[in-house]
Amino acid sequence: MSKKSAQELVSQILEGNTRGIAKAISLAENGLAIQSKEELIDSLYSHCGNATIWGITGPSGVGKSTLLDKLLEHLRRDNHKVAVIVVDPSSPFSGGALLGDRLRMQRYATDEQVFIRSMASRGHPGGIAGATSDAVKIFDAAGYDTIIIETIGIGQSEVEIVKLADVVLLILVPGLGDEIQALKAGMMEIGDIFVINKSDLNGADRLQSELQYVLNLRGEDKSGSEYPLVMTCATNNQGINELYDRTNHYLTTLTQSGILSRKHRKRLEYEVRAIATAKIREKIDFNSRLETQLDGWINEIWLKKASPYKLINQKINGLIKEMEHR
C-alpha cells in the first residue's frame, strides 16, 4: 500500500466509513501485507481505548446468536454504535449455521450503527487472537463504542480471544452432559457472567445448582442483582432485560473500582508479549536456516579451507545480521 492510500484509509476509518473499515479488517486478516497492517494499527492506536468490549462464548448450539440478536436490540435502543466480530477459528469458511446467522442479522444491514463481521478463516499469522485484536482496534478507532466478540466452540483459541473482552458472557444450556464437565474443569474461569439459556428445557435447575456450586468455589460473594448467573430463554425474550442490565451493572462496577483499567493494562501486557514472542519466533527461525547452510560450512572445514571456530563464528554472525534486516 502506498503512503498516500494508507493515510487515506486511516482517515476513512476515523470518520467511521464502513468501506474503509471493511478494507482495514481484511488487511488485518491478510498475512501477506504485515507491514501495511502494522503501520495501519499503529496509526489508529492513539485513537483507541474508548470502546467497551463484550465477549460472548460457549459451546455450539447454545443459542449464542439469538441471544446476541436480542442484546443488540437493547444496545441499539440505548443508542450504542455496535460492532460484532464473529470468530470461528475452527472453520476455514463460514458454514451453514453462520450463514443463517448472517441472514437473521440482516435486519441490521441498513443500520449504519451496527457492523457485523465474521473472521472465519484459519491461519492468521500471530493467531486468530492477534487478528481479532487488530479488528477490535479498527472498530474502536472508528468510533464503535461497543464491540462484541462472539466465539464459536470452546478451546484454547477461544480462551485467548475472550481475554480481549472487558466482560465475558459464558452461555450454557441444560443437557450438555460431558461438555459441562470439561468446562467446569477449567474454562469456567473465563466467564464473568454465566447464562443458562433455553432455561425452559429439562435440567435447567440442575445446571443452575451446579453453576452456583462453581461460583461458590470461586468465592463469588455477590448476591441479588449482582449475582453473575442469569437464566434466559432468548427465543421468547425471557431474561434478556435482566442479562443486559446485569452486564452493564458489572461493567459500571468494574470501571468505578479501577479494575477495568488494570484489566486493560493486563490485556496490553498479554498482547505485547504475544506479538513480541511471535515476531522473535519468526525472525529467529534459526534451525531451518542453519540446515540450509550447514553442509557448506562443513565442506569448507573438511577441505581445510577454513578453521572451524572462525568459520562458525563468522557464519552465525552473518545469520544474525540477516535476521536484523528481515
DSSP for 108-123? GTT-TTEEEEEE--S-
Among 201, 249, 265, 314, binds a copy of itself (CB under 8 A): 265
What does the angle CA 143 – CA 164 – CA 150 come to, to the nearest 5 degrees?
A: 80
259 binds a copy of itself (CB under 8 A): no
Measured between alpha carbons, how far is 254 from 242 in angstroms, rounded to an integer?
Answer: 18
Site string for a copy of itself, 182-211 (x = CB under 8 A): ------------------------------
One residue of 60, 216, 252, 307 binding a copy of itself per CB under 8 A: 307
- Determine contact, residues 37/151, Cβ cutoff 8 Å: no
Among 76, 80, 102, 279, binds a copy of itself (CB under 8 A): 279
CA distance 29 to 27: 5
Q: Which three cell numbers stand for residue 237?
A: 425474550
Beta-bridge mates of residue 119:
87
Q: Could you say which of 1, 97, 260, 275 contacts a copy of itself (CB under 8 A)?
A: 275
Binding of residue 298 to a copy of itself (CB under 8 A): yes
Among 17, 43, 113, 121, binds a copy of itself (CB under 8 A): 43
Helices and strands (H and E) in the chain: how many: 13, 7
Degrees, nearest 5: CA angle 123-129-132: 95
Check binding of 290 to a copy of itself (CB under 8 A). Answer: yes
> φ, ψ for residue 126 (rounded to 5)?
85, 5
Q: How far is the CB of 22 from a copy of itself (least distance, A)?
A: 21
Question: Per CB under 8 A, which of residues 22..41 are in contact with a copy of itself?
Answer: 38-39, 41
Residue 297 corresponds to which cell in the numbers above? 560450512
Residues near 179 by Cβ (< 8 Å), separated by ≥ 6?
59, 154
The answer to whether 312 contacts a copy of itself (rule: CB under 8 A) is yes
Kindly determine how many residues on this chain lie close enough to bind a copy of itself according to the rule CB under 8 A: 41
Residues forming contacts to a copy of itself in the complex (CB under 8 A) are 38-39, 41-43, 45-46, 265, 268-269, 271-273, 275-277, 279-280, 283-284, 286, 290, 294, 297-298, 301-302, 304, 307-310, 312-313, 315-317, 320-321, 323-324
